[in-house]
Amino acid sequence: MKYGIVGCRGRMGVEVERAFGALGHSLVLTSDLEGVECRERPEVLVDFSSHAALAGTASLCREHRCGLVVGTTALKEEHFSLLRALGTEVPVVQSFNFATGVNVLAMILKDYAPLLSDWDLEISETHHNRKKDAPSGTAILLREAAGRDCPTHSLRLGGVPGDHTVCFGNDGEVLTLTHRALNRSVFALGALRAAEFARTARPGFYSFRDVLKKSVEES
């Protein structure tokens, strides 16, 4: 697969290049604050940079007619509108978290949280002290999957890649669901899975859960 990275010098850009390169995929386009370098037409772009770069990324996708995997956080409605519009032309996979376990947790919440609608619900998340947005996009994703608003707590400590805990409780029981990312490679491997999907998918705006469901259908 021929791919490009937007934000190639960032922490996740480096992880993506390592994960893709280990499987022999070819990095043919790189983009950072210094500009764009393109050797060949990419089949898919991977963007973990900044929402400020998203319009430029969309332009690159249109120029090269390639799919997009975007893991940028702190997106607002204007950014989602841009991605949905791009999805009418090329396949776009967007997620705030490309770890498989987090997305399985979101699916569990969507299916079963309604059974606990009369329980208290709170979400907590912990990330490294350089993360700017709070609550995290993943915490928002989990809250939306649970189907109701709830208190959400954010901690910024050291170099934690990402911990998320969803806690339900009533007078007699407490149910705690936790996902812990042990390193950033899990996000890069998820992005690889999404890129393989976007490489052949029809134009559309997809979530990583769509990617996981498709892999189950094909297994």
Question: Tens of pLDDT along 155-169?
Answer: 999 999 999 999 999
For 123, the domain range is: 100-181
- Range 52-63 average pLDDT: 96
- Range 69-84 average pLDDT: 95
Same-domain status, 207 and 127:
no
Is 131 part of the annotated catalytic residue set? Answer: yes
C-alpha torsion angle, residues 95, 97, 103, 108 (rounded to 10) = -100
Q: Which of 64, 79, 127, 179 is catalytic?
A: 127
Count of domains forming the chain:
2
Residue 175 banded pLDDT, cuts 50, 70, 90: very high
Distance CA(169)–CA(177), nearest Å, equals 12
Same-domain status, 6 and 88:
yes
Same-domain status, 87 and 42:
yes
Same-domain status, 139 and 89:
no
Is 127 part of the annotated catalytic residue set? Answer: yes
Q: Which of 131, 153, 164, 214 is catalytic?
A: 131
Whether the per-residue pLDDT at 128 is higher than 80: the answer is: yes
Same-domain status, 70 and 123:
no
Give, rounded to a whole angstrom, the gap between the first and last alpha carbons of the chain.
21
Q: What's residue 217's pLDDT? A: 82
Whether the per-residue pLDDT at 219 is higher than 90: the answer is: no
Distance CA(78)–CA(14), nearest Å, equals 28
pTM of the model: 0.92
Same-domain status, 18 and 81:
yes
Same-domain status, 200 and 174:
no
- Range 128-150 average pLDDT: 95
- Rounded to the nearest integer, the mean pLDDT of the chain is 96
